[in-house]
Amino acid sequence: MEVTVSSCQFELKRVSNFDDFKMQVLEVFEQVPLNSDYVLLPELFTFGLLTSNPDYDSLTVYDYQQLTNFTQHYMELFQQLAQERQQVIIAGSTLEKADDGVYNTTYIFDGQGNVNFHRKTHIFPAEANWNTVEGDNLDVFSIGPITFGIAICYEIEIPEIAQIYQQKGADIIFCPSYTFSEYGYWRVRHCAQARAIENQVFVVHSPTVGQMEGIVQSGYGRTSIISPCDVPWTANGILAESNIDSTDVITSTLNLQVLYENRLTGAATTVKDRKRRSSLYNTAQKV
């Protein structure tokens, strides 16, 4: 079985209103092939909407929660896009207001009118200043022909998350990210590669980029689609990668049957060997 995946690198820009942001999104989707089964956008790529506030230059990080004012418009936009294009859209993440606080949430639009979501379970230390709260669920999603998990940025740096997803049947981990420095980007990027090798899964990494002023911080990164470092894929595990620092879209077709065979007969059968020695790890944890 094959699936085609597109990953969008999104450049932050100042906007006057939601319609300006919508035009940015539509321009990105002009680069997304219609035959893509899954489309990924980055973490908090909606942050540019904060610049539409007339008092933007005087805002502080405590005003990040104003982003929740756009949630309904965001939902309507991607609901419509997914249905028109008949694609599963993992619409990056945005801030979501709930009864118990504000979450960093990824919404998933299946093209049939249904919406699922994943709330970031591990807040990056800098996010603590935003008064966001952490989600408590690590669910996988069987939407379309595959099962997948969502690891929002810092979550990909927590090895247990990807392991749980793989044990629950995930073959792809979608990682939307927003890193404020090259250090942060490479932490996420290297961990994405490690998670692909450890769990013999594909990882799709989509970063928010762009140079900004004010409370919206600049983003660094390169979008990539990653496999385990093994035959029959590329030696470095990179199936596709952007080479520019502005808005870009990359696309790759992934063969799931080859992935399953690799777990059984590859040069490094990490999934099989971790299961084989699981009693050893349980003993070590008790010490």
User: Where in the sequence numbering do the catalytic residues fall?
Assistant: 43, 120, 153
Phi/psi of residue 52, nearest 5 degrees:
-75, -10
Contact between 145 and 87 under an 8 Å Cβ cutoff? The reply is no
CA distance 272 to 215: 46
Alpha-carbon distance 62 to 268, whole Å?
A: 47
Cα–Cα distances in angstroms (integers) from residue 282 to residues 56, 143, 159, 246, in the given order = 52, 33, 16, 46
Q: Which residues contact 273 (CB under 8 A, 6 or more apart)?
A: none
C-alpha closest to that of 156 among 67, 245, 221, 232: 221
| Tokens linked to 264 | 């059984």
Helices (H), 117-269: 159-167, 182-199, 256-265
Question: Could you give phi then psi for residue 46, rounded to 5 degrees?
Answer: -80, -5
Angle at CA 251, nearest 5°, toward 187 and 248? 65
Burial class (CB in 10 A: 0-12, 13-18, 19+), 244: exposed
Amino acid (1-letter code) at residue 75: M
Please tell me the distance from the alpha carbon of residue 234 to that of residue 86, in angstroms, as a whole number: 30
